[in-house]
Structure 1
């Protein structure tokens, strides 16, 4: 990247009301096999509220001259833009295109990795739709929700709080299985959403620890501790993965307005692509 490209990127972010800082630094804050990510995109807080937030693009010095970033679409009214990193010839670390949706949601700026490759989003609206779980998009069309209402946090198909979607559902859980004021989160380092009434159903048992946050099935767990004896002391917990989760009542989160669900709703997470290059989300 040269100074002209950096200035251009800054102007695009400025059009949605955001600030962008670019740093050349060896420690980009995102880890991958073999070392640090070539670059990361982060949201940095210097105070409370979005006025004190900035986007920070951290790039390894050896990657910086060749890094090719392009803004595919800017929507100032929505306060969103779609950013793409083009593949770098001869650089294995950046061998494929990657796309990031940057924008403002309710109280804070965010960055979310979106699907690349075939049928990848080329505009903000497509990117926003790609982040919705399959069930949400299908329900929008079944109920014929007008396209102008798709980005609302509440419409006929769903309610949304951050990256969590809530779809009305006809379930009648047994009273003794209903949990009160339960915390749910996307990952261990994410801020929790507190659910007034919550019910979980199904899923598979997995073993989770800080070194294996996505969890291992029992055969995988047995194989790991057989191969690596030190893994026994990693502080494992038995949990359930891919359960169906239902919520009712008030949903609270530090960064979002409280919403109230009248009746049981199926809880679905956004379809965000997990990426080590997104150093801060939520």
Structure 2
């Protein structure tokens, strides 16, 4: 049994469908280009709703791609990816994308797209893949783990782990019961007109953002003799097309999970088709 067949079997063990396309027969994604593009590992999610499935282009045969820990009940697995450094081009849409040209090399551009230079990471990378509520997802992990349970643990931000109150989650966002000092800072900031409550406001950036009924960003605030760090709070319903609605009866602190944030100057959009 070849490596591709093993990968397909491992996904099937997690009750997930995957299509693995060999390098010799696949056409390089329209979002990647350059001499090394066909050697680069690529992965996306295709289909809609319950008909969704993963598509993997493993790239060069020297790339290491292994499905490690599997949780069939959750329909999730941990995927290990390791490949050497390769330079390639990635096409990104102009609309909804911010590019810091001091950090990113733009090779060419037109009215709709930018082509930027990218390099693969030679370090081992681990991804949590599977189904979360309604749809499939791919999430890069902040550090190496082999089991799905461990993956969920390392994605919990320190504030979530330390919290002794109620915690809700919707996708990559956690909603944590604030401390007494944080509630005092929120009240002081509103009372002093240092912030305002925004309604029907997106949380973070992305093509399909999470939208809160009420959202307020509180700057660093002095409470007694202590400065409380800046924070964002949400209240009411939080909606997202891919997740069940979260209902927050009172103010909750908004905390993102620990998935690595790109350092290449690009504000990545939710729903980007390919990861490298």
Assess, with a 3 A threshold, how the Cα gap between structure 1 residues 7 and 193 changes in structure 2: closer, same or farther. same
Aligned match of 1:131 in 143, 147, 155?
Answer: 155
Which residue matches 2:100? none
Alignment of 1:199-278 (within 5 A): 199-202=216-219, 244-274=231-261
Matched, 1:79 2:75: yes
Q: Is the 8 A contact 2:8 2:20 kept in 1?
A: no
Tell me how far apart the structure 1 counterparts of residues 66 and 140 of structure 2 sit (CA, whole Å).
Answer: 15
Tell me how far apart the structure 2 counterparts of residues 196 and 274 of structure 1 sit (CA, whole Å).
Answer: 26
Aligned residues: 214
Tell me how far apart the structure 1 counterparts of residues 169 and 127 of structure 2 sit (CA, whole Å).
Answer: 20
Q: Is the 8 A contact 2:58 2:65 kept in 1?
A: no
Which residue matches 1:184? 203
Assess, with a 3 A threshold, how the Cα gap between structure 1 residues 168 and 19 changes in structure 2: closer, same or farther. same
Matched, 1:44 2:46: yes
Which residue matches 2:125? 98
**Alignment gaps of 5+ in structure 2:** 88-118, 221-228, 263-267
Which residue matches 1:16? 14
Matched, 1:110 2:137: yes
Higher percent of residues as helix:
1
Q: Is the 8 A contact 1:73 1:81 kept in 2?
A: yes
Please report how far the alpha carbon of residue 163 of structure 1 lies from its aligned counterpart in structure 2 after TM superposition: 0.9
Tell me how far apart the structure 2 counterparts of residues 13 and 93 of structure 1 sit (CA, whole Å).
Answer: 24
Please report how far the alpha carbon of residue 86 of structure 1 lies from its aligned counterpart in structure 2 after TM superposition: 3.4
Q: Is the 8 A contact 1:43 1:280 kept in 2?
A: yes
CA offsets 1:68-89 (integer angstroms, 9 cap, x no match)? 2112211111211111123459
Which residue matches 1:67? 63
SS of 2:79's partner is: strand
Tell me how far apart the structure 2 counterparts of residues 18 and 94 of structure 1 sit (CA, whole Å).
Answer: 26
RMSD of equivalent CA atoms: 3.2
Q: TM-score, normalised by structure 1?
A: 0.66
Q: Is the 8 A contact 1:168 1:264 kept in 2?
A: yes
Assess, with a 3 A threshold, how the Cα gap between structure 1 residues 30 and 268 changes in structure 2: closer, same or farther. farther
Q: TM-score, normalised by structure 2?
A: 0.67
Tell me how far apart the structure 1 counterparts of residues 55 and 261 of structure 2 sit (CA, whole Å).
Answer: 18
Q: Is the 8 A contact 2:71 2:148 kept in 1?
A: yes
Please report how far the alpha carbon of residue 27 of structure 1 lies from its aligned counterpart in structure 2 after TM superposition: 3.4
SS of 1:110's partner is: strand
Please report how far the alpha carbon of residue 17 of structure 1 lies from its aligned counterpart in structure 2 after TM superposition: 1.9
